[in-house]
């Protein structure tokens, strides 16, 4: 069976234009969304994920899409790139350009490609220590993805404990988006085992619910402790008492 031919850059851009959402376009740039000089067809992330899945892995197309001025094209780039070919240099270049729209969120998400690179643990460790808030935001997003790893690819508990301690020491002083990323990473780490749960829960309770604002308005504060102290998780981790 002959493999399906990958679409060209022009074909993808034409498809995106054909699926433009006028309501989404009208909201682009509103509600504090940072556009970064990019234009948008207003297409939602769920639809873009479906389009990316239909394209599949395509390194050359991903590179071409990234070098456009279209937000949706850059999202697709992050979804279809080949994690085996992504370099640390590329990651460092792209993180300088993701502070717009939902790019930072997609950049480090599980269905994108950066979290699947062989250097993701090293990158999460470096970026969470960075002086750049965008890198810290992305670093803690990657840390959450690393927290879901298992087997030989997973870091030791001491590595995660070090990050819990770093979160405890700095979460109160971070900007909103970094606090939220830290809270999410704390949640992921605290679900790994009983020992990490105990330490992460203590930090979550001390920090309290994390207030944040989405593009659509103020949201209910994110209370990590509720995710780390419930009957189902206690049973899964074999926690008998607190």
Task: Compute the mean pLDDT over every residue in the chain, rounded to the nearest whole number.
Answer: 92
What are the DSSP calls for 161-172, one per residue?
Answer: HHHHHHHHHHGG
pLDDT tens profile 205-221: 999 999 877 655 567 88
Residue 51 has pLDDT above 60, yes or no: yes
pLDDT of residue 22: 93
Give the pLDDT band of residue 1 (cuts 50, 70, 90): very low
For residue 239, the tally of other CB atoms under 10 A from its CB is 16
Which residue do the tokens 């006028």 mark?
22
Orientation of helix 176-190 relative to helix 194-207, angle to 10°: 150
Residue 241 has pLDDT above 80, yes or no: no
pLDDT of residue 60: 97
Whether 65 and 95 have beta carbons less than 8 Å apart is answered as no
pLDDT tens profile 88-125: 999 999 999 998 767 998 999 988 899 999 999 999 99
DSSP state of 122: H
pLDDT tens profile 27-50: 887 756 677 789 999 999 999 999
Q: Which two tokens stand for residue 242?
A: 């607190």
Phi-psi region of 44 (alpha: psi -120 to 50; beta: other; left: phi over 0): beta
What are the DSSP calls for 109-121, one per residue?
Answer: STTSSGGGSTTHH
For residue 28, the tally of other CB atoms under 10 A from its CB is 18
pLDDT of residue 238: 93
Residue 159 has pLDDT above 90, yes or no: yes
pTM: 0.92
């Amino acid at each position: 069976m002959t493999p399906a031919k990958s679409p060209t850059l022009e074909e993808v851009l034409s498809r995106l234009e054909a699926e433009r959402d006028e309501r989404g376009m009208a909201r682009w740039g509103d509600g504090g969304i940072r556009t970064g000089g990019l234009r948008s067809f207003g297409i939602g992330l769920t639809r873009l994920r479906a389009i990316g899945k239909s394209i599949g892995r395509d390194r050359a197309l991903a590179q071409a899409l990234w070098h456009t001025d279209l937000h949706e094209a850059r999202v697709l780039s992050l979804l279809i790139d080949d994690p085996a070919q992504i370099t640390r240099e590329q990651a460092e270049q792209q993180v300088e350009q993701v502070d717009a729209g939902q790019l930072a969120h997609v950049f480090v998400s599980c269905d994108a490609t950066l979290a699947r690179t062989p250097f993701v643990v090293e990158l999460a460790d470096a970026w969470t220590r960075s002086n750049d808030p965008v890198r810290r935001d992305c670093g803690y997003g990657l840390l959450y993805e690393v927290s879901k790893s298992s087997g030989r690819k997973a870091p030791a508990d001491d590595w995660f404990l070090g990050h819990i301690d770093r979160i405890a020491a700095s979460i109160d002083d971070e900007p909103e988006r970094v606090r939220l990323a830290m809270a999410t990473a704390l949640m992921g780490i605290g679900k790994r085992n009983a020992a990490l749960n105990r330490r992460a829960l203590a930090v979550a309770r001390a920090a309290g619910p994390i207030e944040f604002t989405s593009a659509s308005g103020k949201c209910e504060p994110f209370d990590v402790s509720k995710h780390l102290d419930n009957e189902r998780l206690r049973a899964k981790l074999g926690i008998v008492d607190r």
